[in-house]
Amino acid sequence: MAADKTPRDDDVEDVQDDGGAVNESLQADTRLVELLQSGDLSEAVMEKFQTMIEPFQEQGQLLDPLLRDMVTPVVRRIQSVFSSMASTSPSSAFPFQVLDAATRIHLHRACQILYLLCKVRGYKTIVKLMPHDVAEFEPVLLLLQSQDRDDFSTWEIRFVLLLWLSILALVPFDLKSIDSSLDGHEEHGESIAIVADIIAICKTYLQDSGPTQQAAALCLARLL
């Protein structure tokens, strides 16, 4: 990325002090999108993105023209984890438990980005930009089931998965289309069991505090 596009302290001050400057900066500044499409979510990139987006905290709607272009590449990063783990560990009940350290960091940073976008623009706006395809249901659920609640450092992963599940729960689906383990002879009880599992997970995360609890409550409300 060109050196002249590096965020400057005076840029941040202008954004905070003057509403018109916020709009001008956003219209001229596609670096938010460029950062997320670059294929690099290093710690330095994460810090730069946070610095650039935080001034919009009180005027999140100014990000709307760029939101889809920011959300899409980040979601694709998470989907790439789904694809790689489905192909390498097809027989595991919770294949995402075997994620290597690098992939865990990759996944966590992608979810941190989505949380920041929710924080600035609001989860109701961001979740509408996430994939609603029923094919996402099983990998999202499996990844959520494999999470370690005691790992407080990666709570953003659980927040994003619960939020994603809340929108997927609104999509009508056939059980066979979301559970790859079924052979076509499933009974109604299987469907009830899956819904019961989701409700149980949501109730568990209701005991947490902060955004994860809020996402769990939203998901539970959509199911009941």
Q: Are 219 and 165 in contact (CB under 8 A)?
A: yes
Specify the residue for token string 């998470």.
Answer: 78
Structural domains of the chain, ranges and CATH numbers in brackets: 30-172+192-223 (1.25.10)
Residue spans of the chain under pLDDT 50: 1-22, 25-28, 91, 93, 95, 182, 184-185, 187, 189
Query: In the prediction, which pLDDT does 178 show?
Result: 60
CA atoms within a 13 Å half-sphere pointing along the CA-CB vector of 197 = 14
pLDDT in tens, 18-56: 444 445 544 437 889 999 998 788 999 999 999 999 888
Q: Determine the distance from the C-alpha atom of residue 221 to the mean position of all C-alpha atoms in its chain, rounded to a whole number.
A: 19
What pLDDT, on a 0 to 100 scale, did the predictor assign at position 1? 40
Give the pLDDT score at 87.
61
Q: Is 23 helix (H, G, I), strand (E, B) or coil?
A: helix
pLDDT of residue 125: 96
Return the closest-CA partner of residue 145 out of 207, 192, 205, 185.
Answer: 205
Q: What percent of the chain has pLDDT over 90?
A: 42
pTM: 0.79
Cα separation, 185 vs 159, whole angstroms? 34
pLDDT at residue 101, rounded to an integer: 82
pLDDT score for 123: 95
Cα 63 to its chain centre, rounded Å, is 17
Both tokens of residue 124? Answer: 């109701």
